[in-house]
Structure 1
């Protein structure tokens, strides 16, 4: 029979399946990539029992729990738990602190003839472990930052390197005002948890970790302060692409491939994408200035009409070039002037790709 565990490192390195018996509201607030939520209590029940515990003590809360646990509710819970355990016999269950809910779930399972271990300390202990590891790995892992203007292909280069962390991939956002993807962004806690697990896995072997230069926010996900500090002192590789090539890459990623996000919508995909692009442009209206915004909005509207009419995205290229030259490049150049990190290499996308392919170029700590 397997026993309860507090070996958090093994749990996360092996992506161990986790049965989360916390209430849905707790799971939504923060969980782990390998966890499924099959709650012991729903949100209302959790609130009632929590209030009783606070006002009348543990035994009163336990008694209320039994009152709320009708045979029908218990049978439903057991059905979900058994299904999870059948699929993941080597997993573990957990609640918030590894206390009453975990032990109660284990009791119900044992009565049904199933022994299933729990995580000691529950979610709180695992979350504390990941926060500690995140700080530890950001301080100890040798980072190398891929930098360059918007549209240089930095994310593509990151994904070509085995020892890398795709921050935009974890955040499910491309990092700009136009960076929305087809996936909902994770909560801040889930973003940090996934980042910490990825760094923990990379720490198991030597070598530099390649990471993309990012601002403090990727959509609504904020880079942890300890990671920001590490990136500010890490050596850099600069990708230097002509503005025309960058514009073509952006049109491919945001327009041609972006249409796929609206497949199945009530409106034609081109119309829905066009509306979103104009909405996003409006978000940076003040920073562009009234006249420049008006000119870009008119050009964008014209490109939207062309896309809707003929499925041709070429009209977006001059719009993107203007946005890069008048807005994004200036902001990035201002930031780069303040940076004083060592530059390991600089070149075009293809030159950087070739440089990265030679693993001997990656500095070792």
Structure 2
């Protein structure tokens, strides 16, 4: 009897590797963590089989599928699966509904002496399981929100805590006009799947509190499901009170030092030009809120810092445009948001004080 499982919790907790045998177009719409797309049919082959199914029925479609994936084509695809399993022995297999594609793939590997478990119900069943974890009723811990002015190092602190969930990390976006990375954000479905993984693991660890950054619902193009976002917003607020100069240092490290390294590693000698364009475009997006005079001031500060860096290698002048944006754009906006908030502020302190408080409060 074919080996199947619907123990989706184990797949999440053990970070089990998965082979997704759906066509690439299906995989791109949404998949799971630790899944690799090694399709049994290409997009074109799947399209041909689909047309045949509509016109001539199931038997004709199955026959065409076996014709399209045969001989060397079949051998290469089976070999790709076996190579992945050799590197990841606990790998499991899925297609969309746990039907023909994963069953046939499983049989072909069995013919080569390789047993593999396939997911009962396939992608659809596992996806439904993960969606359940996004419901507030699934949670058994109380949210605590970590707030503070831009550049306070909230994400740095979150990643030091075992009971935190880094929403920006899951969305691959820093939640600001300058928040995008070179690497694209996940699709909305993949963001939800990754968030569900994090929530399931958090619940399994038995934490009483879930520490999250005080975010809006949208993080770049990704968004937190509405009911879950409302659940998060009910958490009490803890504020990091970090001096402006320290926030400038933190922002310089992240948006200049680290970001430029990423651009240089990706684009080589034109990396700094690409980085400059990325920062310039970020400033343009907030031009209206900055106002004409301040916008021109910030753009000149950026240009002067960039030209100075190109000539000397010194990045220190970037602190000027960073300080202007933090002080004159982000700080007033955050102050306005805090004054409107009705959420109780239960603690306020600097980086170390907040860290110590959270460790003691959450014991």
TM-score range, shorter chain: over 0.9
Aligned to 1:47: 47
| Cα RMSD, aligned residues only | 1.9
Q: Note the residue ranges of structure 1 that are not aligned, 5 or more in a row.
A: none
* Corresponding residue SS for 1:146: strand
Question: Structure 1 residues 136 and 56 mapped into 2: Cα distance closer, same or farther (>3 Å)?
Answer: farther
**Contact 1:271 1:304 (C-alpha < 8 Å) held by counterparts:** no
Once residues 89 and 348 of structure 1 are traced to their aligned partners in structure 2, the CA distance between those partners, rounded to angstroms, is: 46
Deviates more, 1:13-22 or 1:335-344: 335-344
Once residues 93 and 347 of structure 2 are traced to their aligned partners in structure 1, the CA distance between those partners, rounded to angstroms, is: 47
**Contact 2:139 2:203 (C-alpha < 8 Å) held by counterparts:** no
**Contact 1:259 1:273 (C-alpha < 8 Å) held by counterparts:** yes
> How is 1:75-224 mapped onto 2 (pairs within 5 angstroms)?
75-136=75-136, 139-204=139-204, 205-224=206-225
CA apart distance, 1:284: 1.8
CA apart distance, 1:37: 1.2
Deviates more, 1:36-45 or 1:336-345: 336-345
CA apart distance, 1:290: 2.4
CA apart distance, 1:356: 2.3
**Contact 2:94 2:102 (C-alpha < 8 Å) held by counterparts:** yes
Once residues 300 and 68 of structure 1 are traced to their aligned partners in structure 2, the CA distance between those partners, rounded to angstroms, is: 57
Question: Structure 1 residues 86 and 137 mapped into 2: Cα distance closer, same or farther (>3 Å)?
Answer: farther
> How is 1:322-361 mapped onto 2 (pairs within 5 angstroms)?
322-358=324-360, 361=361
**Contact 1:138 1:227 (C-alpha < 8 Å) held by counterparts:** no
CA apart distance, 1:54: 3.1
Deviates more, 1:138-147 or 1:16-25: 138-147
TM-score (norm 2): 0.93
Once residues 53 and 156 of structure 2 are traced to their aligned partners in structure 1, the CA distance between those partners, rounded to angstroms, is: 52
Question: Structure 1 residues 139 and 330 mapped into 2: Cα distance closer, same or farther (>3 Å)?
Answer: farther
Question: Structure 1 residues 236 and 270 mapped into 2: Cα distance closer, same or farther (>3 Å)?
Answer: same
Question: Structure 1 residues 50 and 332 mapped into 2: Cα distance closer, same or farther (>3 Å)?
Answer: farther
TM-score (norm 1): 0.93
**Contact 1:19 1:92 (C-alpha < 8 Å) held by counterparts:** yes
Aligned to 1:253: 254
Q: Note the residue ranges of structure 2 that are not aligned, 5 or more in a row.
A: none
CA apart distance, 1:77: 0.9
CA apart distance, 1:269: 4.1
